[in-house]
A = this chain, B = another copy of it.
């Protein structure tokens, strides 16, 4: 029995999220079917974390246990033959039997893409949030700085979620803007609550528009103030960039 680790890319647009669900096609279902077809074994795939419907991955990490004589680094190639083109295995390798994609992860980096120009291009549909308002990036960056450190993020969690703890550690959180009016928010943390990144971005966009003060973050990080935070922005612009071990 080998523990195989995969780095995955996927376009989330056509999936109900990573996790297998009764009503809708998930990345997990498609991947587990490809593994079943390839190895003739029913394997469960363990991800570094779920991604929501519509959220993309540049570097999702998963692992699964399988009996095989295929060289671990060739598994990427054979699985790609069975996978649709919006899911790609970037690399595969064998890892220690006690490696677990989620439990072994030290941190995860998400990015959120915003187009702050005149009109969203057809090439950015489902891949980028459109924001037509003028945004004060300096204020957004000042506000984002409050996130860094270990905090109670209960103000940034979808109301219908039950989690054991809402404490998470954020290592970096900042915005950059390129010459073509694309804004990228990068956030690295020990872990993220359901919808947490999307609520953080929604809040910081309101800071950027002058609808909320820069220090709103301080208030929100006192906990349990979901109604004072911004809206949950669309999943379109969200990408799981990488998982760090």
Binding site for B on A (CB under 8 A): 9-11, 56, 58, 85-88, 90, 119-123, 125-127
In the bound complex, CA of A87 to CA of B121 (Å):
9
In the bound complex, CA of A94 to CA of B56 (Å):
40
In the bound complex, CA of A11 to CA of B87 (Å):
20
Give min CB distance, A136 to chain B, whole Å: 27
Give min CB distance, A116 to chain B, whole Å: 17
Oligomeric state, in copies: 2
B125 touching A86 by the CB < 8 A rule?
yes
Chain B: CB-nearest residue to A85 = B125
A86 touching B122 by the CB < 8 A rule?
yes
B-chain residues with CB within 8 Å of residue A122 when the two chains form the complex: 9-11, 56, 85-88
In the bound complex, CA of A88 to CA of B120 (Å):
9
In the bound complex, CA of A194 to CA of B58 (Å):
36
Chain B: CB-nearest residue to A121 = B9
B-chain residues with CB within 8 Å of residue A85 when the two chains form the complex: 122, 125-126
Give min CB distance, A100 to chain B, whole Å: 25
B-chain residues with CB within 8 Å of residue A88 when the two chains form the complex: 119-122
B-chain residues with CB within 8 Å of residue A120 when the two chains form the complex: 88
B-chain residues with CB within 8 Å of residue A127 when the two chains form the complex: 123
In the bound complex, CA of A70 to CA of B74 (Å):
60
B-chain residues with CB within 8 Å of residue A56 when the two chains form the complex: 122-123
B-chain residues with CB within 8 Å of residue A11 when the two chains form the complex: 122-123, 125
Can you spell out 6 A-B residue pairs with CB atoms less than 8 angstroms apart?
Answer: A9-B121, A10-B122, A56-B123, A86-B122, A88-B121, A88-B122
In the complex, given contacts A85-B125, A90-B119, what are 4 additional A-B residue pairs having Cβ atoms less than 8 angstroms apart? Answer: A9-B121, A11-B123, A56-B122, A123-B127
